[in-house]
Amino acid sequence: MRLAGAIDIGGTRTKIGIVAEDGRVVRRATVSTGHRGDPLPLVDRIVSTLRPMLESEGKGALGIGVSVAGFLDREHTAMIANANLPALCGFPLRSTLEDRLALPCHLEVDSNAAVLGEYRYGSGTDATRLLGVTVGTGLGGGVIIDGALLRYTGECAGDIGHIILDPKGRRCTCGARGCLEALVCSAALSARAGGRSVREIVAAAGRGRKPAVNALAETGRWLGLGLASLTPLFAPERIVIGGGVAAAGELLLGPTVAAYREYVAPEFVDKVQLVGAALGGWEGMVGAASLLFHPLR
């Protein structure tokens, strides 16, 4: 079974591991991403975590798949724009990792990597037109049509998290107000639940605690509205919802589906299926690694 190293750099946490060709995560770990200043400490954390994994589990690995939040340059050498990760903007990430790990690296936009992971191994298999969104520190989305990733801005489907749903809503990291991302991200969910962490909110909601359940329901309503707004642009047959906030499962998905069906244009109500991601938050890492095994056309 062929193996690849994998890195998924998010706004708050970075996931690191070894992925097999069948989509199994053989080894996994997480480290803090960090937000400001010199990006080299993050590189150091990645290398010191991944190198022992490669030595013990990934000998002969084909390379390293790297999922990174933000827009990429056309050559996929560096991330060029992301308000949540300013330290990495313009940093030669691919060449730095290749030098440190002595393996070829492939950089991919995190939203593309996540939707690709679900398309190949998870809840998006067999979908002809697939929209995948990840909800966490921010909100990203990728689109696959007939097996090909949609790329037209920043090597992805654009910054779909920044459609404006409420002009008087929360200030977004992009500078606007009421963006979809600003209304459903982990910070928004935390604010609705009195400052508790996403993990605490999900746990409390699972125990039936009303404030946590309500916070997730409101987040789901905004997410459903946002997905209804995006549907006429991409006309997906299936939408896969993943990311850290989506760990709430049906407590988030239920209100999302209800709002989606309320707001989406009638022609899409019975044509689009909304489902939760199947890869447990590791879809970005799995999708990035899969490009080493099976590059896209």
The CATH number for 60's domain is 3.30.420.40
Task: Give the span between the Cα atoms of 290 and 287, in whole angstroms.
Answer: 5
In a domain, 117, yes or no: no
Q: What is the DSSP letter of 187?
A: H
End-to-end Cα separation, the chain, in angstroms: 23
The whole-number pLDDT of residue 118 equals 98
Q: In terms of domains, do 136 and 29 share one?
A: no
Q: Are 279 and 117 in contact (CB under 8 A)?
A: yes
Q: Where are the alpha helices (DSSP H) in the chain?
A: 40-56, 93-101, 110-121, 180-184, 186-192, 198-206, 210-234, 250-263, 283-293
Q: Give me the DSSP letters along 219-262.
A: HHHHHHHHHHHHHHHH--SEEEEESSGGGGTHHHHHHHHHHHHH
Tell me how far apart the alpha carbons of residues 117 and 17 are, in angstroms, rounded to a whole number. 14
Q: Are residues 246 and 184 in the same domain?
A: yes
What pLDDT is recorded for position 34?
Answer: 83
Whether 262 is covered by a domain: the verdict is: yes
Q: Which residues pair with 64 in a beta bridge?
A: 5, 105
| Among the listed residues 215, 223, 213, 212, the one whose alpha carbon sits nearest the alpha carbon of residue 184 | 223
Residues 53 and 69 in one domain: yes
- Please say whether the beta carbons of 247 and 202 come within 8 A: yes
Place of tokens 């707001």: 263
Whole-model pTM: value is 0.94
Range(s) of the domain holding residue 38: 3-110+282-293
Q: Read off the pLDDT of residues 89-128 as tens digits, 9 standing for 90 and up.
A: 999 999 999 999 999 999 999 999 999 999 999 999 999 9
Q: Do 95 and 73 belong together in one domain?
A: yes
Residue 175 has which token pair?
Answer: 């500078």
Instruction: Confirm if 154 and 261 have CB atoms less than 8 A apart.
Output: no
For tokens 């890492």, the residue is 285
Same domain flag for 98 and 199: no
Query: Phi and psi at residue 260, in whole multiples of 5°?
Result: -60, -50
Query: Is the residue at 118 inside a domain?
Result: no
Phi-psi region of 109 (alpha: psi -120 to 50; beta: other; left: phi over 0): beta
Residues 258 and 146 in one domain: yes
Q: In whole angstroms, what is the distance from residue 243 CA to residue 107 CA?
A: 19
Rg of the chain over Cα atoms, rounded to whole angstroms, equals 18
Chain-centre distance for alpha carbon 95:
23
User: Is 281:223 a contact under the CB 8 Å cutoff?
Assistant: no
Nearest to 98 by CA among 17, 11, 5, 25: 5
Mark whether 167 and 270 lie in a shared domain. Answer: yes
Low-confidence ranges of the chain (pLDDT < 70): 35-36, 297
Same domain, 163 and 76: no
Q: Report pLDDT for 35.
A: 67
Buried b (16+ CB within 10 A) or exposed e, 91-112: bebbebbeebbebebbbbbbbb
Say whether both 228 and 106 belong to one domain: no
Total domains present in the chain:
2
